[in-house]
Amino acid sequence: MQSESVLHELAFKALDSFQIEIPSWGFANTGTRFGKFFQAAAASTLEEKFSDAGQVHKLTGVTPTLALHVLWDLPHGASDAAAVRALESRFGVTSGSINPNLFQDQEFKFGSLCNPSAEIRERAVAHMIDSVVIARELGSRDISLWLPDGSNYPGTQSIRKRIAWLEEALIRTHAELAPNQRLLVEYKPFEPAFYHTDIGDWGMAAHLAVKAGPQARVLVDTGHHYATQNIEQIVAWLLHTNMLGGFHFNDRRYADDDLTLGSIDPYQIFRIFHEIQLSGREALQDIAFMIDQSHNLKGKMEAMVQTVATGQELWLKAALVDRDQLASLQDKCELVAAEELFRGAFWHDVRPVLKEWRRSKGLPEDPLAALAESGYVQRISAERGGKLAPVSSYA
Helix (H) or strand (E) segment spanning residue 159:
helix 159-175
Q: What's the maximum distance between 2 C-alpha atoms anywhere in the chain?
A: 65
Q: DSSP assignment, residue 21?
A: B
Q: Are 209 and 216 in contact (CB under 8 A)?
A: yes
Q: Which of 243, 226, 241 is nearest to 186 (CA)?
A: 243
Q: Are 188 and 221 in contact (CB under 8 A)?
A: yes
80 binds, among ligand RM4, Mn ion, none (CB under 5 to 8 A by kind): none
Range 99-158, binding ligand RM4 (CB under 6 A): 99, 146
Q: Which of 31, 22, 23 is nearest to 391 (CA)?
A: 31
Residue 292 makes contact with Mn ion by CB under 5 A: yes
Cis peptide leading into residue 23 (ω within 30°): no
Residue 292 makes contact with ligand RM4 by CB under 6 A: yes
What are the counts of helices (DSSP H) followed by strands (DSSP E) for the chain?
16, 12
CA of residue 30 relative to chain centroid, distance: 17
Pick between residue 80 and residue 221 the one whose CB is nearest to ligand RM4. Answer: 221
Among 21, 73, 88, 256, the residue binding Mn ion under the rule CB under 5 A is 256
99 binds, among ligand RM4, Mn ion, none (CB under 5 to 8 A by kind): ligand RM4
Pick between residue 136 and residue 188 the one whose CB is nearest to ligand RM4. Answer: 188
Compute the CA torsion angle 377, 140, 209, 114 (nearest 10 deg). 70
Pick between residue 7 and residue 395 the one whose CB is nearest to ligand RM4. Answer: 395
Pick between residue 121 and residue 188 the one whose CB is nearest to ligand RM4. Answer: 188
Residue 395 makes contact with ligand RM4 by CB under 6 A: yes
The site map against ligand RM4 for 351-380 (x = CB under 6 A) is: ------------------------------
**Backbone dihedral angles phi then psi of residue 244, each to the nearest 5 degrees:** -85, 115
Q: Which range, of 8-16, 117-125, 220-228, 349-357, touches Mn ion by CB under 5 A?
A: 220-228
Per the DSSP assignment, residues forming a β-bridge with 235 are: none
Pick between residue 189 and residue 344 the one whose CB is nearest to ligand RM4. Answer: 189
Among 225, 248, 300, 358, the residue binding ligand RM4 under the rule CB under 6 A is 248
What gap in Å lies between CA 280 and CA 289, rounded to an integer?
A: 15
395 binds, among ligand RM4, Mn ion, none (CB under 5 to 8 A by kind): ligand RM4
Binding positions for ligand RM4, rule: CB under 6 A: 99, 146, 186, 188, 221, 248, 256, 292, 395
Binding positions for Mn ion, rule: CB under 5 A: 221, 248, 256, 292
